[in-house]
Amino acid sequence: MKTLYFECNMGAAGDMLTAALLELHDNPESFLKRLNSAGIPRVVVTAEPSVKNGITGTHIRVTVNGHEEHEHHHDHEHDHDDHTHDEHRFHEHHHSSYHDIEHLIGHLNVSAAVKKNTLAVYKLIADAESRAHGVPVNQIHFHEVGEMDAVADIVGVCMLLEEFAPDTILASPVNTGSGFVRCAHGLLPVPAPATAFILQNVPMYSDGTNGELCTPTGAALLKYFVNDFCAMPVMTVAKTGYGMGKKDFEKANCVRAYIGQTAGNNDKVTELTCNLDDMTPEEAAFALQLLLNEGALDVWTAPVGMKKGRPGLQFTCICVNEIKDKMVSLIFKHTATIGIRENICRRYVLQREQTEVQTKYGTVKVKTACGYGVKKSKPEYEDIAAIARKEGLSIQEVLKSVETAANSHL
């Protein structure tokens, strides 16, 4: 499947994500013309080469009325002072309300999907600012995320992702940086409160780099678009892009983006395990089948030697995380265990489909799985068994008939 992967070892900001994606584009100049024609007031977006620690990438430069805005990658302000202004006018140093941004985005020369996604990203930021500062969303006034350079960054990312149309978007855990950042309220810890709120349920860490590596804009874009935060999967990479930040650190200050093909699904599952030495085989079999009926991906038992030399069973259930609590409850109810172990596992799955083969004995469903350079096919056992019983044949005779029929269609 077509996969986009962001490597966020030095955090993420809107301009860095835009630049990394732009490097993946087949015609960056043409895209910048479209972005500059989107109707963002008085804004011009340009791309320029940038070198960090010997690596050449792209830096996005946004000018408003011919002047470059403040550096919003690592230094932003949150200001909720009341400002009386015409809701339809945006000034270079004016703070903007969420309503202003809604109006602006709604009138841009972009697709309905880009408008929808851009507003959704801003909603994440507005909710985070509201929560962090105890101010209703309709009273939030943006500086870092409301100025026109940030509008350009977010719209640019939304437009690029619409053009790439990846099947899945993945990212590494996010490096937030450390220390403090100065804003209108004084010194705030890194990550800033709004960023920390946006990154809830997102794997994040700090490697000790002193500075704000992940901004609210970057955090919101990742939170909204990324399907999973994980290590880079097995992937055939077509292109690599480097989006450069403006500041210099000991480590190369960039977001790296890869686009290419992954051979199959790569997801996470929960493994629940317990040991049993005081259940009958019938009880264990009942619990096993019950969990399968209730949505478990797989359930099995294995013989184990337990304390005091007792023979027992290891009972294991694999399920998606969304039904983990349900599976835990069923295991406690239908087995004798008083404790369950949990492991989060990464699962690699071949892409699967089901076809039908017409044989001289009737229709047989065939399951096919492919990916990672392999392809496997297997007839549905119940169909094979039904034909064998009806025709008085062996399993092997029916399988040979299916193979002959399948080969005739190649």
Local confidence band at 12 (pLDDT 50, 70, 90 cut-offs): very high
Contact 47, 60 (CB under 8 A): yes
What does the pLDDT read at residue 93?
A: 47
**Of 49-58, 140-149, 176-185, 223-232, minimum mean pLDDT range:** 140-149
Local confidence band at 357 (pLDDT 50, 70, 90 cut-offs): confident
| Cα torsion angle, 347, 214, 245, 16, sign | positive
Is the model more confident about 187 or about 97?
Answer: 187
Q: What is the pTM of this model?
A: 0.64
**Of 63-67, 176-180, 363-367, minimum mean pLDDT range:** 63-67
Residue range 196-206, pLDDT digits in tens: 999 999 999 99
- Domain 267-349 = CATH 3.30.70.260: no
What does the pLDDT read at residue 13?
A: 94
DSSP secondary structure letters along 268-320: EEEEEEEEESS--HHHHHHHHHHHHHTT-SEEEEEEEE-GGG-EEEEEEEEE-
Contact 229, 203 (CB under 8 A): yes
Mean pLDDT of 357-382: 85
What does the pLDDT read at residue 333?
A: 97
Q: What whole-number distance in Å separates Cα of residue 221 and Cα of residue 207?
A: 22
What does the pLDDT read at residue 3?
A: 93
Residue 2's closest CA among 234, 245, 228, 263?
Answer: 263
Contact 165, 2 (CB under 8 A): yes
Mean pLDDT of 344-368: 84
Residue range 34-72, pLDDT digits in tens: 999 999 988 899 999 999 999 999 999 988 777 775 444
Query: Most distant CA pair in the chain: distance in Å?
Result: 87
What does the pLDDT read at residue 133?
A: 76
What does the pLDDT read at residue 355?
A: 83
Residue range 233-286, pLDDT digits in tens: 888 999 999 999 999 999 999 999 999 988 655 578 999 999 999 999 999 999
**Of 69-73, 166-170, 309-313, minimum mean pLDDT range:** 69-73
Contact 257, 5 (CB under 8 A): yes
Exposed / middle / buried, residue 144 (Cβ in 10 Å: 0-12, 13-18, 19+): buried
Local confidence band at 145 (pLDDT 50, 70, 90 cut-offs): very low
| Number of residues that make up the chain | 410
End-to-end distance of the chain based on CA atoms, in angstroms?
25
Local confidence band at 94 (pLDDT 50, 70, 90 cut-offs): low
Name the average pLDDT for the chain.
Answer: 86
The helix or strand, by DSSP H or E, that contains position 11, with its residue range, turns out to be none
Local confidence band at 85 (pLDDT 50, 70, 90 cut-offs): very low
Could you tell me what percent of the chain has a pLDDT over 90?
59
Is the model more confident about 40 or about 91?
Answer: 40
User: For the chain, what are the domain ranges?
Assistant: 2-261, 267-349, 351-408
